[in-house]
Amino acid sequence: QDIGVIYVLLKPKGKVSLNEIFKKDVLSSDCFLHLRKNHSKLMNDLSHKVKLIAANPVIEGMNMKPEDLEELQQKVNVVINCDKKSNFNLRIDSAIKNYVDVPLNVMKLAQGFHNLQSYVLVSTAHVNSNRTGRIDERLYDPEVDYEKVINAIRRSHPRDLDVEYERVISEFPNTYAFSKSAAERLLIKYKGTVPLAIVRPSMILSAWKEPTPGWIDYVDEVGIITFTAGLGIFSDMPGDPNLIGDFVPVDFVVNTILVSAVRYALHSEVSMVHCCSSSSNPIRWGEFLETVEKTWKFMNSNNKILKSSEQLSDPPTFKLI
């Protein structure tokens, strides 16, 4: 009842309407299954509070209609900037476009909002993957000039991008981690007076409680390991079973984002919020993979996943080497 309008910026896809895109990508998700079945009126009321706006976030100005822009400028109080999905293997120029340019363009948009109280950037704990030891909720001194590096990459010929990446930012494990780290610093540099909170989740897993235990609507990051290991496609990988696998349920992450939007509203200082298990509530890779193996064996023996004609004759095993 306290929410007036939820504005969702969607990139147009040819002749497909924004309503069709939103229904397919969001409303049809099993995330809302409980609401659809048991609280249809509430679901209907929430749906009517959503307003879809055509925008291309990789372009400065986003190709937005003037009347849509004016409405956002007058009415928006909170901005949540979250990636649709994580891709660790994008070429460096594409990673910069998706994970640096988009939040910067959203920030430029937000700077024109007259009643803005909070901007939440959903980043990642991977931004400090080039460091060892304890990682605090802070911004560390950069080892490279991110803006200079990004400008050099923009000027590079596509055939030279891999060489440029290896030369200047090879301490990061992938282009995703580098780009998200760069985005944090550039947003802080150019945010102006916008109240900014940065949420850093670790590896996101299925839900603990909400919307229902075990819910997830995509296979990504560690989910790929559990899924392919269970099918017997992926049987081993390099690793130490005693190391902590830092996982966090998706509903923890959503709650952290929402709380951060309120807790740090109107703060002049940038707020960093870690959302991870770390050493506080650790699960080690060995424990995690044992649980995956037991779960798949149970599901297989109880015919929960595969049809009876497709039962695995030899239940899957997985090991770190």
Q: How does pLDDT run across 35-82, given as a tens digit for each residue?
A: 888 888 888 887 788 999 999 999 988 999 999 999 999 999 999 999
Residues 100-109 pLDDT 10s: 999 999 999 9
26's enclosing H/E stretch is none
| Beta-sheet pairing, 118-122 with 247-249 | unpaired
The pLDDT of residue 320 is 58
R_g over Cα of the chain: 21
With cut-offs at 50, 70 and 90, classify the pLDDT of residue 310: very low
With cut-offs at 50, 70 and 90, classify the pLDDT of residue 292: confident
Distance CA 35, CA 243 (A): 39
Average pLDDT, the chain: 85
Which distant-in-sequence residues (6+ apart) come within 8 Å of 40 by Cβ?
A: none
Distance CA 301, CA 298 (A): 5
Q: Are 148 and 168 in contact (CB under 8 A)?
A: no
Distance CA 50, CA 69 (A): 16
Q: How many CA atoms lie within 13 A of 170 on its CB side?
A: 7
Asked if residue 211 has a cis previous peptide bond (ω within 30° of 0), the answer is: yes
What ranges make up the beta strands (E) of 46-117?
Answer: 50-54, 78-81
168's enclosing H/E stretch is helix 161-169
Q: Which residue has the tokens 């509070």?
A: 49
6's enclosing H/E stretch is strand 6-10
Encoding tokens for residue 268?
Answer: 């002049």
Top-confidence residue, 186 or 241: 186
Q: Strand order in 78-81's β-sheet? A: 78-81, 118-122, 196-201, 271-275
Encoding tokens for residue 173?
Answer: 């494990």
Distance CA 285, CA 243 (A): 6
Q: Is the pLDDT reported for residue 246 higher than 90?
A: no
Virtual torsion, Cα 134, 135, 137, 140, nearest 10 deg? 120
The pLDDT of residue 315 is 47
The pLDDT of residue 317 is 55
Q: How many residues does the chain have?
A: 321
What b-and-e string marks burial along 217-228, b requiring 16 or more CB atoms within 10 Å of the CB? eeeebbeebbee
- Predicted structure pTM score: 0.88
Alpha helices in 1-101 (DSSP H): 18-22, 33-38, 40-48, 66-75, 92-96
Burial (Cβ within 10 Å: 0-12, 13-18, ≥19) of residue 75: middle
Encoding tokens for residue 139?
Answer: 């911004």
